[in-house]
């Protein structure tokens, strides 16, 4: 049976028409799911008992179970959810002065193989459905009672490798009758799947595009990110320029600074050359060392020097605040844990 949260509003209208119902029922169902946040069809009290029964016969409502929840000193909360097929995913809630941000996973595992990322080295299992992406937000809102205002696709997985489901989930998240989170408050982060960047530029979704760049020449970038062998820097930058031209939206380049690898003045100089004149912003991330990882965090002094060099040379750069590192919830620390482990530690 299909998960009812997999449909955007237009698709759900089609579904209802196929069930012999009026399309406006889809709007009522949307309101129950995403505004009232009910967990069962029986709670949709402005629908007839007959329709509620029909829905129950035809769809499931996926409600994730929390397998594990960890709270950081800085208020960040990491969830391990049971996605109901024996797999588990991680989602992170962060609190900023401007509101709550959620970092969602888009796949169970990841195929990209970035050398510095903890999601590497675990098996790729499958992509998440739209409903499973949306459910991460619902489950966290239900658990905490907070209203989430920002969504970043920076959890486990490569969102552009799960293109259709990610776009569909954004339609649900963004819909005023759905979760009603503005597209400008939604960011997709990609390791650089060039054809999908061109495709995204054609969608009418003004979300923020973040590019995980991390290096300024192909030798270094391929060393860190195997995807660069398929889509080298020149092609990536060309796609980014096309994206900016078509959407008139600023791109955010992520640059994780690793000691003695990509953090010296020469790298900063090359980065300026690469991005000069583009409508963009650079987000510097102090790299989080992963278990047995080869990359170490740059010193604070180097990070600030790197930032200052960029700012002094016309590239707007900020250093990302590190949240949740004490609970392994910071950038690149997420790792799909299997149910077996969670059961072993008695948290089920």
Is 234 in the active site?
Answer: no
Is 90 in the active site?
Answer: yes
* Chain position whose Cβ is nearest to ligand SAH: 332
Instruction: Give the residue, chosen from 79, 116, 243, 253, that forms a contact with ligand SAH under the rule CB under 6 A.
Output: 116
Which segment (55-63, 230-238, 269-277, 283-291) binds ligand SAH by CB under 6 A? 283-291
- State yes or no: residue 109 binds ligand SAH (CB under 6 A): no
- State yes or no: residue 193 binds ligand SAH (CB under 6 A): no
- State yes or no: residue 329 binds ligand SAH (CB under 6 A): no
Hey, which residues between 251 and 270 contact ligand SAH (CB under 6 A)? 254, 256
The length of the chain, given as a count of residues: 348
Nearer to ligand SAH, 162 or 247 (CB): 162
Which segment (85-93, 235-243, 273-281, 287-295) binds ligand SAH by CB under 6 A? 287-295
- State yes or no: residue 290 binds ligand SAH (CB under 6 A): yes
Maximum C-alpha span of the chain: 69
Nearer to ligand SAH, 90 or 254 (CB): 254
- Shortest separation between residue 106's beta carbon and ligand SAH, angstroms: 8
First-to-final CA distance of the chain:
25
Of 21, 90, 132, 158, which is the active-site residue? 90
- State yes or no: residue 189 binds ligand SAH (CB under 6 A): yes
- State yes or no: residue 285 binds ligand SAH (CB under 6 A): yes
Q: Which residues are catalytic?
A: 90, 331
Which residues bind to ligand SAH, rule: CB under 6 A? 112, 114, 116-117, 154, 158, 189-191, 212, 254, 256, 285, 287-288, 290, 331-332
């Amino acid at each position: 049976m299909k998960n009812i949260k997999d449909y955007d509003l237009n698709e759900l209208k089609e579904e209802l028409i196929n069930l012999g119902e009026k399309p406006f029922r889809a709007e009522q169902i949307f309101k129950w799911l995403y505004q009232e946040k009910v967990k069962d069809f029986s709670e949709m009290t402005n629908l007839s008992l007959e329709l509620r029964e029909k829905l129950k016969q035809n769809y499931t409502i996926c409600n994730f179970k929390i397998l594990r929840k960890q709270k950081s000193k800085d208020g960040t909360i990491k969830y391990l959810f049971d996605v109901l097929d024996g797999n588990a995913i991680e989602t992170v809630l962060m609190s900023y002065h401007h509101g709550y941000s959620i970092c969602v996973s888009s796949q169970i595992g990841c195929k990209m193989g970035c050398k510095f990322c903890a999601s590497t080295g675990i098996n790729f299992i499958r992509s998440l459905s739209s409903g499973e992406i949306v459910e991460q937000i619902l489950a966290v809102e239900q658990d905490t009672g907070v209203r989430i205002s920002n969504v970043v696709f920076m959890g486990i997985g490569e969102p552009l490798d799960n293109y259709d489901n990610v776009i569909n989930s954004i339609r649900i998240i963004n819909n005023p009758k759905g979760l009603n989170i503005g597209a400008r408050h939604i960011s997709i982060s990609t390791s650089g799947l060039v054809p999908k960047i061109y495709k995204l530029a054609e969608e009418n979704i003004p979300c923020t595009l973040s590019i995980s760049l991390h290096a300024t020449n192909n030798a270094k970038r391929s060393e860190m990110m195997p995807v660069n062998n398929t889509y080298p820097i020149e092609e990536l930058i060309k796609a980014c320029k096309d994206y900016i031209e078509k959407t008139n939206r600023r791109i955010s380049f992520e640059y994780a600074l690793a000691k003695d690898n990509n953090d010296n003045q020469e790298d900063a100089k090359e980065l300026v050359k690469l991005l000069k004149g583009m409508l963009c912003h650079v987000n510097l991330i102090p790299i989080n060392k992963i278990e047995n990882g080869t990359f170490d965090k740059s010193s604070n002094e180097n990070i600030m020097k790197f930032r200052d060099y960029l700012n002094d040379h016309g590239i707007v750069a900020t250093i990302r605040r590190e949240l949740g590192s004490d609970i392994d919830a910071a950038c690149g620390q997420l790792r799909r844990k299997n149910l077996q482990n969670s059961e072993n530690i008695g948290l089920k």
